[in-house]
């Protein structure tokens, strides 16, 4: 197989998703499976759907279009506010989108009316993390205005935490989100169907035994892919933490001094730490760089230390382990490293199928499909 490559075990992904769907269902919470880290790969999406997720969520309309083109008919939500310039594509291929601006909803309304479709809207509320969201005191008036747009259905409200500022979901902010759903119901005589409490960072709260209130949906990606709690990066009991691995190929392996020599300036990506160890080390270079992955998000097997990376080279100290050019090394990834590796066209993605069905390899190229192909799907 070619390298570098990501090896994705779809059965482990399905297991993780199924376990979380089961645990959260006991709290009255459904799961939206987030596909953005896998660029809308349809086999990944189907693994999530097979695990019982309520629907799919993605932040890029290009990924949603790719899934639709592959024949996926499940409900899909655009979980980043649409760009007005893409309103037509959004209403054509996403059932629901998350929104904070009335101008964007107006563009969606116009596009939906022209297409003869209806489009669902979830209003995102700012709960303190200072990423996207309508200020709570402005939510009622925003909802009032949203209800006036033709071909737009107000489906619910949502929140996002622990992404920008690290604000943790807890009983306080989740209770406030529930209260705001009650306010809208009372003000407009409608029933808010969706209260989307957040992402994988909500799991500790959701599974703590606290009452969920009106929160009835979470958007899960990182916990399913990596089996970790994003708040502390600790493994989630019963989930696989090795569903995805990165394999890289050695292109140089030599004994070199531990410290650089000569006049030291900035490296290609700014100042680099200098090893404090004297003597020599067995330094290995792999054909992998910052263009492909976040090197700070890589974890090697015990005894191997990641030293740093340039655009195209990853340097590691293999300690007493001797390797040769052409051999391969395996790394585990955090979410940052996974996102970048999935996006890189130079990293092959290999997906293993359920037991007995082998594996397949795919080169994934991000970007929109042709308008002709999308028209045929639609």
Quote the CA–CA distance of 172 and 90 in Å, as a whole number. 34
CATH number of the domain encompassing residue 276: 2.40.30
Spatial neighbors of 221 by CB under 8 A, at least 6 apart, are 33, 34, 35, 36, 37, 57, 199, 200
Instruction: Tell whether 79 and 106 lie within a shared domain.
Output: yes
Quote the CA–CA distance of 349 and 196 in Å, as a whole number. 31
Mean pLDDT of 143-162: 98
Task: Enter the tokens of residue 278.
Answer: 């004297």
3-state DSSP call for residue 16?
Answer: helix
Query: Is 370 within the bounds of a domain?
Result: no
Largest CA distance in the chain: 75
Does the pLDDT of residue 373 top 50, yes or no? Answer: no
Instruction: Tell whether 263 and 213 lie within a shared domain.
Output: no
Residue with tokens 């300690």: 319
7 has which bridge partners?
A: 245, 350
Question: pLDDT by residue (tens digit) across 209-226?
Answer: 999 999 999 999 999 999
pTM greater than 0.85: yes
318 has which bridge partners?
A: none
Please give the helix or strand (H or E) that residue 12 lies within, else none: helix 10-25
Task: Enter the tokens of residue 206.
Answer: 């959701």
Report the candidate in 164, 195, 190 with the shortest Cα–Cα distance to residue 179: 195
Q: Which class for 279: exposed (0-12), middle (13-18), buried (19 or more C-beta within 10 A)?
A: exposed
Mean pLDDT of 9-34: 98
Catalytic hit among 12, 36, 54, 349: 36
Question: pLDDT by residue (tens digit) across 246-270?
Answer: 999 999 999 887 777 788 777 667 7
Instruction: Tell whether 118 and 259 lie within a shared domain.
Output: no
Instruction: Tell whether 80 and 180 lie within a shared domain.
Output: yes
Q: Is 36 labeled as catalytic in the residue annotation?
A: yes
Please give the helix or strand (H or E) that residue 87 lies within, else none: helix 87-93
Query: Is 321 within the bounds of a domain?
Result: yes
Does the pLDDT of residue 365 top 60, yes or no? Answer: no
Query: Is 367 within the bounds of a domain?
Result: no
Instruction: Tell whether 153 and 261 lie within a shared domain.
Output: no
Domain that holds residue 207: 9-235
Instruction: Tell whether 39 and 180 lie within a shared domain.
Output: yes
Work out the pLDDT band at 357, boundaries 50, 70, 90: low
The beta strand positions in 180-227, using DSSP E, are: 194-196, 217-220
Does the pLDDT of residue 278 top 90, yes or no? Answer: no
Query: Is 150 within the bounds of a domain?
Result: yes
- Residue length, the chain? 378
CATH number of the domain encompassing residue 53: 3.20.20.10
Contact 361, 349 (CB under 8 A): yes
């Amino acid at each position: 197989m070619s390298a570098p490559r990501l090896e994705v075990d779809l059965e482990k992904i399905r297991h993780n998703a199924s376990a979380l769907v089961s645990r959260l269902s006991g709290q009255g919470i459904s799961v939206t499976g987030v596909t953005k880290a896998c660029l809308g790969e349809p086999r990944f999406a189907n693994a999530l759907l097979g695990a019982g997720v309520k629907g799919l969520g993605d932040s890029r309309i290009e990924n949603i279009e790719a899934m639709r083109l592959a024949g996926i008919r499940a409900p899909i939500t655009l979980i980043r506010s649409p760009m007005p310039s893409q309103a037509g594509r959004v209403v054509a291929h996403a059932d629901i989108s998350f929104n904070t601006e009335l101008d964007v909803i107006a563009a969606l309304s116009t596009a939906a009316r022209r297409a003869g479709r209806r489009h669902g809207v979830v209003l995102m509320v700012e709960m303190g993390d200072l990423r996207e969201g309508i200020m709570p005191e402005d939510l009622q008036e925003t909802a009032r205005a949203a209800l006036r747009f033709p071909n737009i259905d107000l489906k619910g409200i949502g929140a996002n935490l622990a992404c920008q500022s690290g604000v943790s979901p807890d009983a306080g902010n989740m209770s406030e989100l529930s209260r705001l759903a009650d306010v809208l119901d009372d003000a407009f005589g409608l029933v808010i169907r969706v209260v989307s409490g957040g992402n994988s960072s909500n799991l500790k709260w959701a599974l703590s035994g606290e009452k969920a209130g009106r929160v009835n949906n979470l958007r899960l990606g990182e916990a399913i892919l990596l089996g970790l709690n994003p708040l502390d990066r600790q493994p989630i009991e019963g989930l696989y933490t090795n569903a995805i691995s990165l394999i890289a190929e050695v292109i140089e392996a030599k004994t070199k001094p531990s410290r650089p020599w000569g006049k030291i300036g900035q490296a290609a990506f700014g100042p680099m730490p200098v090893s404090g160890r004297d003597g020599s080390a067995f330094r290995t270079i792999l054909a992998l760089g910052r263009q492909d992955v976040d090197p700070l998000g890589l974890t090697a097997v015990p005894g191997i230390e990641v030293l740093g990376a340039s655009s195209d080279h990853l340097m590691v100290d293999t300690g007493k382990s001797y390797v040769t050019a052409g051999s391969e090394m395996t790394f585990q990834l955090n979410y940052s490293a996974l996102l970048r590796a999935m996006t890189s066209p130079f990293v092959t993605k290999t997906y293993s199928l359920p037991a007995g069905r082998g594996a397949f390899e795919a080169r994934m190229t991000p970007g929109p499909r042709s308008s002709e192909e999308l028209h045929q799907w639609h």
